[in-house]
A and B are shown apart, each in its own frame.
Chain A
């Protein structure tokens, strides 16, 4: 956990007081909506279809138990008793009243949580691997560098009015769980031939209307240069990014139009002027930030304790859950536990206030008070002693967050869609709900293996449909809901965009179409362990296209 200091607390207190005054002036009529809108957006307050929505960021996906309890309190006191975890490690409250927003934000500020820079053309919440600090294949904790970037880029005057929003993600593991290659800047920590630690710098990735996988402009950037190099990228973007056309304003368009090599040269030229200045990170600065993270005081434990093997033998459901939702930890005797927020028939990523409170209690009891939020819209308890897993599972099962479907067909990513969002063309949540019912048989789901379905209710792609193994994009045709279907996308270290299968299908047929695709996969796969994605890579999309459209 990162420990806030007096400066952080003063900044949040000042912002709460400022926003309280702005809301009062809006309600009194002193501010018009045109004047107030950019101010509320700077605090994460949107006006959606039928209510205000507050988006709260969870930096690098890390929450303490008091912070999660405060989110539960806000959900219960100011909203309708639940929150929605998003694909960018944020949480959204859907029903907050304007005159209560300052109190809600003040309450969040008490535990160092806020909605600043969750909207607007600034650097948004900096995200990373939800297993950071716990993953066995991790080089260093990427959150230290995410925090350095967060501090530098929060309320940065030069980058508060960029051509468009800007998203940064980091990973420090070989397997990318943070989807860094579809971010404006993706940073992959690795070691060079000399054994030094640095970052591969990827720019110009993104989804939305014009999707791109990012391009590498620097294969190895030393840690000391991280801040100055990111500053140089942002300066080049700020100068050359298009402000005349909102659809061409993201950095991905600039990188595409200039070419990655030319863009990289511009960055290098800018960087040369600032690399040895005050933004250079010396070891002491990195160590200072690292020292403000508290780490668990692990007990000396052995892997595979007796209690665990006994429970696996005596309880099939526990054994199934363990095989699906529990991952290895870097510390012997510990494990990483994913909590599925995708039970059958529920909106993906939603959690009730009661669930949040209970999970905070379980985090205190079993995970050193830490909770993580992943971009797949699930939660994680990152540091659980293996001998506690049976007891933890019973508690999670009772809470409804132990469905053993993590990474499987019913672990669906979905945006809020037209049920909440003013930008959406179609609903997403009911499609996801229907698919979880169709694939309620978890034996079948396990037989299918890893299969990610991503659903977006509009071209803005908050549901990451381009990088779903099966991607569903809602479009409106003559007032009716239709879905474009693509397959073969992925968001990991081999990120790629899915291929559109053909004409959009009606809303009512989407679940049938997905079942057809899955049936085709079962016939086409060479072996039971050939996952859907690999079958698509081997045979192409044609056999799936034929299956879907043969009778339609």
Chain B
């Protein structure tokens, strides 16, 4: 398998680096300070390949706080609001699209 730093990156729009938090698997995003945040609005965003690769390397270097960092597409509205770039990322951010059974679904 090709290492992430050697993979050819193809970016067609704004992207962020996302991962799962080690302790509970929650979805997190790399922020501009190099930390992890659960808020997509606080994520570091780029449209440039080199910057995306650098962010990814930064995310992958942290093996304690987050697991499995990768680059994910986002959409940016005209007023700057970020939303996930595909259904998979929407579900990661917002949870299942179905009501959870029992009390969990209330």
Contacts and interface: CB of A to CB of B under 8 A. Distances in A.
Interface string B83-106: 000111001100111101111100
A50 B25 contact: yes
Contacts of A481: 87
A32 B63 contact: yes
A71 to B, nearest CB: 14
Interface centre among B64, B96, B104 (most CB of A within 10 A): B96
Nearest to A353: B102
A16 B7 CA distance: 38
B86 to A, nearest CB: 6
Contacts of A433: 98
Interface in A396-440: 418-420, 427, 429-430, 433
Q: Which interface residue of B24, B25, B87 has the most chain A CB atoms within 10 A? A: B25
B67 to A, nearest CB: 5
A29 B64 contact: yes
Contacts of A66: none
A48 B24 CA distance: 11
A47 B87 contact: no
Contacts of A418: 87-88, 91
The B interface is mostly helix, strand or loop, or mixed, namely: loop
Contact of A347 (B27, B68, B98): B98
A49 interface: yes
Given A351-B101, A418-B87, A418-B91, A29 B24 contact: no
Interface in A452-505: 479, 481
Contacts of B100: 80, 82
Interface in B48-69: 63-64, 67-68
B2 to A, nearest CB: 15
Interface residues of A, number: 34
Contact of B101 (A26, A51, A347): A347
A411 to B, nearest CB: 17
A376 interface: no
Contact of A419 (B20, B67, B97, B101): B97
A107 B63 CA distance: 29
Given A50-B95, A419-B96, A481-B87, A97 B102 contact: no
Contacts of B63: 29, 32-33
Contacts of A189: none
Contacts of A97: 23-25
6 contacts: A48-B25, A50-B91, A51-B20, A82-B100, A98-B23, A419-B97
Given A51-B26, A352-B102, 15 more contacts: A33-B68, A50-B27, A51-B25, A81-B101, A81-B102, A81-B104, A97-B25, A98-B23, A98-B25, A346-B101, A347-B101, A429-B96, A430-B97, A479-B86, A479-B87
The 8 closest A-B pairs by CB, nearest first: A352-B102, A80-B104, A419-B96, A51-B25, A82-B101, A97-B24, A52-B25, A350-B101
